[in-house]
Structure 1
Amino acid sequence: MKEKWRQELKYALTEADSVLMASRLSAFMQRDSHLHGRKEYVVRSLYFDNLYDKALREKLSGVAVRDKFRIRYYDYDQSFIRLEKKSKRYSLGHKYQCRLTAEEVERLLQNDWEWMVEDARPLVRELYLKMKLETFRPSVIVDYRREAFLYEPGNVRITFDRNVRSSRNVRAFFQKEVPTVPVLLDGKCIMEVKYDDYLPDVVSRTILTAKNKAQAYSKFAACRING
């Protein structure tokens, strides 16, 4: 199956603007199935970097071709955990992913990762090589509340990430009440727009007021710097 690379746009909005924008989008977009009738769900991610801050430096320098690894789960539910590699090629993004168990993550957090070398999942073996050869290790926990919308034409997904917080206590990844610090002190919300080959006009016109605020924002970088 051919890899599908998607366009990605990011906008920094005030909380009030994000609420207004979400209200407008809800008139014609469907809410993400992860919401289960709620307005938002919690996303917790564990990002990797090496001793020289390679992933952070590449992001801050605007390197056009780069990858970053993370482990993610939702609403503190340890029964569904994913290892993800987020690849960026200029303005296009692609996400590779596979499932992990809570036990595997715990072993990794305890620096027990030799089991990964012959694992059947290619992404697990790739992360092992990054850890073995490039000294990549868990570097920061990133928490936030997400509101998400879907629109089938163009395969559009728009998310609003609020209350972005971080923790350097990576071994507390599965602790629900791990102490975190806010990284968006001005109350900003991050709106991300992802789509395949085209952005439908109805979506483009709805987000028009935010277009002058597009920026290369990274929750990972913000949490590494300010957390």
Structure 2
Amino acid sequence: MRYEYKFYVHRNKIPLLRNIILTKLKLDKHVDSSRKHYTVRSIYFDSIDLRHYYEKIGGLKHRKKVRLRGYDYNPDSIVFFEIKRKYEEPGMKNRFSTNYYNALEMFRNRMISKENEDLNKFFFQIMSYNLRPIVNVIYDREPYTEIVKTQNNLRITFDKNLRSVAYPKIDELFVDDNIKPAMLDYFILEVKFDDYLPSWVRNMSESLSLKRESASKYVICIDSQKSIVKQSRFAYLRAEQI
């Protein structure tokens, strides 16, 4: 179980936030210190009538997202089959990792594994609900982690330059053609922890007048891609007539 708080923040507050956070946390060791970020890419799968999208905006307490996630611009890197589940407040995640070329082969064969339940659950969702690639959500993540690791496992990230590509193919996870910006002046501040929200984080958010939001990157990108919403509504109307 993992807790996740999100805030919309104007880009002009980044220097101040960095100064505060660096008194308590450190830049993630996996990040190039000169860039201060890595790029996250996630192809989200949904039904043709956007069932997962409408569950989210409808405030359904038990919901899920199905995605293929990779990082930066390296097709040779490890990618992740993920099902992100939300049961009211805490979240859970089923995750299976492999290299990108193996992942493409698995999609071609709808590969079922006798050894990995998480991979089986992923393809069960894909096949049972006829899910298809809807949008590639892309952003630059600036991550901060605990200086000394604790059971709370606190992590704070600045998720910047949110953008997306509509209706990507599975082999286009690392392709930026026809990319569309989703938020220009704001970024999403994410705070993740296992047990409790530290008082200094609460004080920081209150001093900067930050308000907790749902801030779903998937929803934001779908809303910015008007063709996706329009097509899903058409599909819903057709289904109602059948």
* Range of TM-score over shorter length: 0.7 to 0.9
Residue 68 of structure 2 corresponds to 71
Residue 164 of structure 1 corresponds to 162
Is contact 1:113–1:128 with CA below 8 Å preserved after alignment?
no
Is contact 2:41–2:174 with CA below 8 Å preserved after alignment?
no
Residue 123 of structure 1 aligns to a residue whose secondary structure is helix
Q: Give the Cα–Cα distance (whole angstroms) in 2 for the partners of residues 64 and 174 of structure 1.
A: 29
Q: Kindly provide the amino acid, as one letter, of the partner of residue 155 in structure 2.
A: R
Q: What TM-score, normalized by structure 1, do the two folds share?
A: 0.88
- Displacement after TM superposition at 1:181 (Å): 0.4
Residue 35 of structure 1 aligns to a residue whose secondary structure is coil
Q: Give the Cα–Cα distance (whole angstroms) in 2 for the partners of residues 211 and 93 of structure 1.
A: 25
- Count matched residues: 219
Is contact 1:48–1:139 with CA below 8 Å preserved after alignment?
yes
- Displacement after TM superposition at 1:121 (Å): 2.0
Residue 5 of structure 2 aligns to a residue whose secondary structure is strand
Q: Give the Cα–Cα distance (whole angstroms) in 2 for the partners of residues 125 and 37 of structure 1.
A: 37
Match for 2:58 among 39, 53, 61?
Answer: 61
Counterpart check, 1:139 vs 2:134: yes
- Displacement after TM superposition at 1:176 (Å): 4.2
Residue 41 of structure 1 corresponds to 38
Residue 182 of structure 1 corresponds to 181
- Displacement after TM superposition at 1:211 (Å): 5.7
Instruction: Give aligned-pair identity as a percent.
Output: 29
- Displacement after TM superposition at 1:98 (Å): 1.2
Q: Give the Cα–Cα distance (whole angstroms) in 1 for the partners of residues 209 and 145 of structure 2.
A: 19
Q: What TM-score, normalized by structure 2, do the two folds share?
A: 0.83
Residue 150 of structure 1 aligns to a residue whose secondary structure is strand
Q: Kindly provide the amino acid, as one letter, of the partner of residue 38 in structure 2.
A: Y
Is contact 2:43–2:168 with CA below 8 Å preserved after alignment?
yes
- Displacement after TM superposition at 1:113 (Å): 3.6
Counterpart check, 1:12 vs 2:11: no
- Displacement after TM superposition at 1:119 (Å): 5.1
Range 159-168 or range 127-136, more displaced: 127-136
- Displacement after TM superposition at 1:67 (Å): 1.3
Q: Give the Cα–Cα distance (whole angstroms) in 2 for the partners of residues 193 and 118 of structure 1.
A: 34
Q: Give the Cα–Cα distance (whole angstroms) in 1 for the partners of residues 116 and 70 of structure 2.
A: 18
Match for 1:29 among 12, 22, 25?
Answer: 25
Residue 30 of structure 2 aligns to a residue whose secondary structure is helix
Residue 140 of structure 2 aligns to a residue whose secondary structure is strand
- Displacement after TM superposition at 1:195 (Å): 0.7
Q: Give the Cα–Cα distance (whole angstroms) in 2 for the partners of residues 136 and 189 of structure 1.
A: 29
